[in-house]
């Protein structure tokens, strides 16, 4: 099950590993992604802290960590093919995998239905 933030990141928990990316809504709003700057493996991130930077033909935008944890993997494929963020934001366009410092933090995030309602109101 995916959870979403108001800043349009998604997080999917698989055991004790969380995968993070940006939503389809965010990918469309950004336009064509031309560069992605990812954190380093081993970096500790705070909930709401900067996790990555996405540059598109329109602008540069920060991607924020939905929860606190440690980066355990980054999607190196985005370096050669940043457009994957637009083509498959919730599949191959993921940014990082990370540990979950506090699983209860996920409870504060929106489920898919709540996120769709949130986007409809924007």
Could you count the other beta carbons within 10 Å of the beta carbon of residue 87? 12
* CATH number, domain with residue 52: 2.40.50.100
31 pLDDT tier (thresholds 50, 70, 90): very high
DSSP the chain: -EEE-TTSEEEEEETTEEEEEE-HHHHHHH-SEEEEE---TT-EE-TTSEEEEEEESS-EEEEE-SS-EEEEEE-THHHH-TTHHHH-TTTTT--EEEE-S-GGGGGGSB-HHHHHHHHHT-
Classify residue 34: in a domain, yes or no. Answer: yes
119 lies in a domain?
no
At 29 the pLDDT is 94
Does 112 map to a domain?
A: no
Q: Is residue 62 in some structural domain?
A: yes
Predicted TM-score (pTM) of the model is 0.96
What percent of the chain is modeled with pLDDT above 90? Answer: 95
Confidence at 16, pLDDT banded by 50, 70, 90: confident
Q: What's the total number of domains in the chain? A: 1
| Tokens 């802290």 belong to residue | 49
The residue assigned the tokens 């540059």 is 55
Q: Would you place residue 110 in the very low, low, confident or very high pLDDT band (cuts 50, 70, 90)?
A: very high
**By residue range, what is the domain housing residue 19?**
2-101
| Structural domain contains residue 115 | no
Is 73 among the domain residues?
yes
Domain presence at residue 7: yes
Give the length of the chain: 122
Residues 6+ apart with CB under 8 A from 16: 99, 100
Within-domain flag for 122: no
Q: List, for residues 39-82, the tens digit of each pLDDT value.
A: 999 999 999 999 999 999 998 999 999 999 999 999 999 999 99
CA torsion sign for 82, 18, 53, 90 is positive
Tokens of 42: 């081993």
């Amino acid at each position: 099950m995916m959870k979403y933030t108001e800043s349009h990141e998604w997080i999917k928990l698989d055991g004790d590993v969380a995968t993070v990316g940006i939503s389809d809504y965010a990918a469309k709003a950004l336009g064509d992604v031309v560069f992605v700057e990812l954190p380093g493996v081993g970096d500790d991130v705070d909930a709401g802290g900067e996790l990555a930077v996405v540059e598109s033909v329109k602008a540069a935008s920060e991607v924020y960590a939905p929860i606190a944890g440690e980066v355990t993997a980054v999607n190196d494929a985005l370096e050669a093919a940043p457009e994957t963020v637009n083509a498959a934001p919730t599949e191959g366009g993921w940014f990082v995998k990370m540990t979950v410092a506090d699983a209860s933090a996920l409870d504060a995030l929106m489920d898919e239905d709540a996120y769709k309602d949130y986007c409809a109101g924007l």
